[in-house]
Amino acid sequence: MDKKRVRDYMTYDVDTIDVRGTVQDVIDAIKRSTHDGFPVVDDNEVVGYISARDLLFVTPESSVKDVMSHRLIVAEPDMVISDVARVIIRSGIQKLPVVDEDNRLLGIISNTDVVRSQIEHVSPEKVHKFIDTLERLHGLKPALSRGPVRITELLPTQSKIYMDELEGRIYEIQKGLAEPVIVIKKPRKTLLVDGHHRAVAAKKLGIKILEAYIITINSDMELGLERTAHAMHLRNLDDIEILDYARHPLVAGTSRISRYY
């Protein structure tokens, strides 16, 4: 996690508002973009931030300088993502301008970027917890190592992944930030336990080898994961369905609930 830095996840192309502008300029910017707030700059130096809620009870002719928030929390490109997450959680601020040592605007990092950086995060605790489960349920004594695995040999155990997360994993692989997947290596097959988005992303990029935490089991005992994969007719990564965000079950659930309120 510590190797994940702001510079790897921030947005570099940022819409800004000039400090000499008016509230009408901000309204126009909101209408033509998908954003509800913007860094305020003076010759690319960040001097404030203005959001839609700052426009309440002011006229379109009001000066941006008089309406904007002057007390600003910013991030630096070399900050680790975990530090940015703490700032966002404790302050309630959704977006932080990223600046250089002269307070010049370099980009912006949002709470969404922070969440994206942590999806499918692998920790040693996660690996050992899975090993403990195998020992407890099946009486097995797995061995743990770390090394390369061939993508073509992976048997997936998850039938669906999501396009937005897949795009994030592609970006991470291209930036050299991808974490290892978790696999179970048996005498005649290698089960992909965790990291399906990363594996599909690597395949799309033409990568043939992935770094992995390898849990080796010298037994042909059929695991529950194998039965699940067989029931879902999963043979290789091409059998995984890629869903777009609009079809995410949590989004669909929210839509159904909203009809009753």
13-27, 141-155, 171-185, 209-223: least confident range:
171-185
Does a structural domain hold residue 260?
no
Tell me what pLDDT residue 119 has.
Answer: 61
Say if residue 249's pLDDT is above 70: no
Does a structural domain hold residue 255?
no
Per-residue pLDDT tens digits for 121-132: 666 777 888 888
Examine the fold and report which residue of 97, 117, 137 is the final residue of a domain before the chain moves on. Answer: 117
Does a structural domain hold residue 55?
yes
Residue with tokens 């860094």, as numbered in its chain: 39
Residues 139 and 229 in one domain: yes
Note the pTM of the prediction, 2 decimals.
0.59
Question: What is the arithmetic mean of pLDDT over 223-234?
Answer: 88
Confidence of residue 251 (pLDDT cuts 50, 70, 90): very low
Q: How many domains does the chain have?
A: 2
Q: Which two tokens stand for residue 192?
A: 């992909």
The Cα 153–Cα 191 span in angstroms is: 9
Say if residue 248's pLDDT is above 50: no
Tell me what pLDDT residue 250 has.
Answer: 41
Tell me what pLDDT residue 130 has.
Answer: 83
Residues 15 and 96 in one domain: yes
Residues 241 and 209 in one domain: yes
Say if residue 164's pLDDT is above 90: no
Tell me what pLDDT residue 123 has.
Answer: 64
Question: What is the arithmetic mean of pLDDT over 60-70?
Answer: 95
Tell me what pLDDT residue 252 has.
Answer: 37
% residues pLDDT > 70 (the chain): 90
For 89, the domain range is 6-117
Residues 104 and 50 in one domain: yes
Tell me what pLDDT residue 214 has.
Answer: 95
Say if residue 260's pLDDT is above 90: no
Does a structural domain hold residue 259?
no
Tell me what pLDDT residue 91 has.
Answer: 82
Sheet arrangement for strand 37-42: 17-18, 37-42, 45-51
Residues 124 and 113 in one domain: no
Report which secondary-structure segment, H or E, holds 181.
strand 181-185
Tell me what pLDDT residue 129 has.
Answer: 82
Residues 140 and 159 in one domain: yes
The Cα 81–Cα 164 span in angstroms is: 19
Tell me what pLDDT residue 256 has.
Answer: 32
Q: Are strands 209-216 and 181-185 parallel, antiparallel or unpaired?
A: parallel
Confidence of residue 118 (pLDDT cuts 50, 70, 90): low
* Share in percent of the chain as helix, strand, coil (round to 5): 40, 25, 35
Radius of gyration of the chain measured on its C-alpha atoms: 23
